[in-house]
């Protein structure tokens, strides 16, 4: 694990009990099940190993990828108002990743000299730990309780928060969930939260197809590389022999379904073995493997979906040009 050398704040970083081991260590059967389906699929959580996260971060900094830039602008403009509305609650961040933008909210706690307990949740424990140490060094009042787990596993591990909690779901990560995962996560979130808890959600919205397609076809090719890195991730984790150069990246916006769909295309007939799983799979030329979805929501539909799950809209801030929003929801 690439741990930074000891520095200020390290004593305020820890892993929540039971969550420090590799959260994907038992995922092999799901990988096999998904590659036996028709069409075949690789779960999007395989985008994010250490290299995949680095490529995703590079994609986020490209001029075409408006999502990161606009979200940061909205957070910068409204962080104070958000903290005033919610109060200085402990923060649980789902899919924290590098937590690049979280500091914009944490700075509001720091300005008031208030202790903040921060629970970043992510499957990628290496990235989580590096982010935790960086934030603890930046914010002397911050205590970081890392949760290396899936969203679903993490929620029941959290302590009870008598004053309530603020969940963050940034980076449009909610938009990467499949329909069934959305239903499951929302009911799980309702069950493991209390009346009055807040959720701050960042979501990309419906807009012209060209801007969306540009975002996922950045000229530097980081989007494509981060998706194809899923194959390298499977190779490393399961002793696989995917030849990455024999696969292509396909990203298309489906305006009717309101989602961008990313596939990996097999460029030739080929057979791949994941030795550690004792599993072999064949692909035919032009076969598409489902890799990632990115929902582009209608803000009212998004509000209705969360309302059905027991969360009412407290405030929303929408960038009128790029059509990207921050939504503050409150648990009934």
What is the rounded CA–CA span in Å between residue 133 and residue 4?
8
Q: Considering the rule CB under 6 A, would residue 95 count as an interface residue with ligand SAM? A: yes
SS (H, E, C) 193-253: CCCCCEEEEEEEECCCHHHHHHHCCCCCCHHHHHHHHHHHHHHHHHCECCCHHHEEEEEEE
What is the rounded CA–CA span in Å between residue 42 and residue 159?
33
Stretch of residues binding ligand SAM (CB under 6 A), selected from 30-38, 117-125, 235-243, 282-290: 117-125
The residue written with tokens 């009717």 in the block is: 256
Of 46 and 283, which has the nearer Cβ to ligand SAM? 46
Q: Considering the rule CB under 6 A, would residue 74 count as an interface residue with ligand SAM? A: no
The least distance separating ligand SAM from the CB of residue 121, rounded to whole angstroms, comes to 6
Site string for ligand SAM, 24-63 (x = CB under 6 A): ---------------------x--x---------------
Q: Considering the rule CB under 6 A, would residue 121 count as an interface residue with ligand SAM? A: yes
Q: Which of 27, 117, 122, 287 binds ligand SAM (CB under 6 A)?
A: 122
Nearest to 81 by CA among 103, 104, 115: 104
Asked if 35 and 41 count as a contact pair (C-beta separation under 8 A), the reply is: yes
Of 151 and 238, which has the nearer Cβ to ligand SAM? 151
Q: Considering the rule CB under 6 A, would residue 132 count as an interface residue with ligand SAM? A: no
The least distance separating ligand SAM from the CB of residue 34, rounded to whole angstroms, comes to 14
What is the rounded CA–CA span in Å between residue 127 and residue 182?
24
Site string for ligand SAM, 149-188 (x = CB under 6 A): -xx------------------xx-x---------------
What is the rounded CA–CA span in Å between residue 100 and residue 98?
5
Asked if 128 and 120 count as a contact pair (C-beta separation under 8 A), the reply is: yes
Helix or strand holding residue 315 (H, E):
strand 311-319
The residue number with the shortest CB distance to ligand SAM is 171
> Who contacts 137 (Cβ-Cβ below 8 Å, separation ≥6)?
7, 8, 9
Q: Considering the rule CB under 6 A, would residue 120 count as an interface residue with ligand SAM? A: no
What is the rounded CA–CA span in Å between residue 60 and residue 57?
5
Of 70 and 272, which has the nearer Cβ to ligand SAM? 70
Number of residues that bind ligand SAM (CB under 6 A): 16
Stretch of residues binding ligand SAM (CB under 6 A), selected from 90-98, 233-241, 281-289, 297-305: 90-98
Residues that bind ligand SAM (CB under 6 A): 45, 48, 95-97, 100-101, 121-124, 150-151, 170-171, 173
């Amino acid at each position: 694990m690439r741990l930074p050398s000891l520095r200020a704040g390290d004593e305020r970083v820890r892993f929540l009990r039971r969550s420090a081991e590799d959260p994907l260590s038992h995922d092999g059967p799901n990988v096999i099940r998904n590659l036996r389906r028709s069409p075949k699929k690789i779960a999007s959580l395989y985008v994010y190993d250490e290299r995949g996260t680095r490529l995703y971060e590079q994609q986020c900094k490209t001029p075409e990828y408006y999502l990161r830039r606009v979200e940061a602008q909205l957070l910068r403009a409204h962080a104070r108002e958000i903290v005033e509305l919610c109060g200085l609650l402990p923060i649980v961040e789902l899919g924290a990743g590098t937590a690049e933008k979280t500091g914009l909210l944490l700075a509001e706690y720091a300005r008031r000299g208030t202790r903040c307990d921060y629970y970043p949740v992510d499957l990628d424990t290496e990235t989580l730990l590096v982010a935790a140490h960086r934030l603890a060094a930046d914010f002397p009042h911050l205590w970081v309780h890392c949760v290396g787990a899936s969203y679903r596993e993490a929620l029941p591990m959290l302590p009870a928060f008598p004053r309530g909690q603020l969940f963050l779901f940034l980076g449009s990560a909610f938009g990467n969930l499949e329909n069934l995962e959305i239903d499951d996560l929302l009911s799980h979130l309702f069950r493991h939260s209390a009346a009055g808890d807040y959720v701050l959600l960042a979501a990309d919205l419906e807009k012209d197809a060209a801007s969306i397609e540009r975002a996922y076809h950045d000229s530097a090719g980081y989007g494509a590389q981060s998706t194809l890195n899923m194959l390298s991730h499977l190779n490393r984790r399961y002793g696989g022999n995917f030849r990455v150069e024999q696969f292509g990246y396909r990203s298309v916006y489906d305006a009717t379904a309101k989602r961008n769909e990313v596939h990996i295309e097999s460029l030739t007939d080929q057979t791949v073995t994941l030795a550690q799983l004792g599993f072999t799979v064949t692909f035919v030329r032009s076969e598409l493997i489902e890799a990632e979805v990115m929902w582009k929501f209608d803000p009212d539909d998004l509000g209705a979906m969360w309302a059905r799950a027991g969360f009412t809209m407290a405030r929303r801030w929408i960038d009128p040009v790029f059509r990207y929003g921050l939504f503050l929801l409150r648990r009934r």
